[in-house]
Amino acid sequence: MDRKAVVVLSGGQDSTTCLYWALEQFGADNVEALSFDYGQRHRIELECAAKVANLAGVEQTTLPIDTFAALGGNALTDSAIGVEDAAGDSLPNTFVPGRNLIFLTFAAAFAWQRDASDLVAGVAQTDYSGYPDCRRATIDALEQSLTLGMERTFRIHTPLMSLTKKETVELARDLGALDVMASTHTCYNGQRPPCGECPACRLRARGFLEAGIADPLDSI
Ligand code: ZN
């Protein structure tokens, strides 16, 4: 039997690249996308996730988990908090504690019901904001916990883990995912066209610039 994969799809550049990576690895019939409505301020992310899944021709499910908004205290779910870069050694206020751990745990539960044991996530420890739940050591420990806790050998694939933003753009190109990038969303300020000023916009722009590739999002 073919292995089946569940891709955590946020509607952003990285998770979209991972979706196309999974299509190549597992075949289109064996890939499903999973998105989370976690109370994010920018609903456009969910619209983009649906659009990307549709363009990729995969089934997509959105799970509601609004607990992060109830916890508050971060710029992605609390409209009273503006996006700021990290100061000194502290984490930026776009860090949502536990987010990737919880996403992947729900993804494993979702996969378990579908006889899938391969999970794919667009986390990366290079070139990012230093989110501790994006590190491979965290992912390895979670993989082990999920495997023990659900009595199934889960694998969490992180194809972008050691890539720079430039290399991620090049991978998207090699996977034929560039056109779809016009339907992705990155901006922390929820703007479309993107604001170009926030940390997420700047990081994305730098990746495309260094790769020498025009961002299709800029031409819409
Ligand atoms: Zn922005």
Higher-scoring residue by pLDDT: 74, 15: 15
Q: What is the pTM of this model?
A: 0.91
Q: 16: CA distance to ligand 1 center in Å?
A: 18
Q: 170: CA distance to ligand 1 center in Å?
A: 21
Predicted confidence (pLDDT) at residue 191 exceeds the cutoff of 80: yes
For residue range 31-46, list pLDDT tens digits in order: 999 999 988 878 899 9
Rounded CA separation 214/211 (Å): 9
* Nearest-10 Cα torsion for 141, 52, 211, 168: 10
Q: 202: CA distance to ligand 1 center in Å?
A: 7
Q: 8: CA distance to ligand 1 center in Å?
A: 22
Provide the phi-psi class of 212: left if phi over 0, else alpha when psi is between -120 and 50, else beta: left
Q: 186: CA distance to ligand 1 center in Å?
A: 7
In the structure, ligand 1 is a single-atom ion and the residues with CB under 5 Å from it are 187, 189, 194-195, 198, 201
Structure token pair of residue 16: 């979209």
For residue range 62-100, list pLDDT tens digits in order: 999 988 778 776 666 677 667 666 556 666 766 778 889
Sign of CA dihedral 168, 208, 44, 129: positive
Rounded CA separation 173/194 (Å): 21
**pLDDT computed for residue 110 by the predictor:** 98
Cα–Cα separations (whole angstroms), residue 214 to 51, 83, 174, 201: 21, 26, 15, 14
For residue range 99-138, list pLDDT tens digits in order: 899 999 999 999 999 999 999 999 998 755 678 888 899 9
Q: 24: CA distance to ligand 1 center in Å?
A: 30
Which residue is listed with tokens 């016009």? Answer: 182
Angle, vertex CA 159, rays to CA 55 and CA 144, nearest 5: 115
Q: 38: CA distance to ligand 1 center in Å?
A: 20
Predicted confidence (pLDDT) at residue 143 exceeds the cutoff of 60: yes
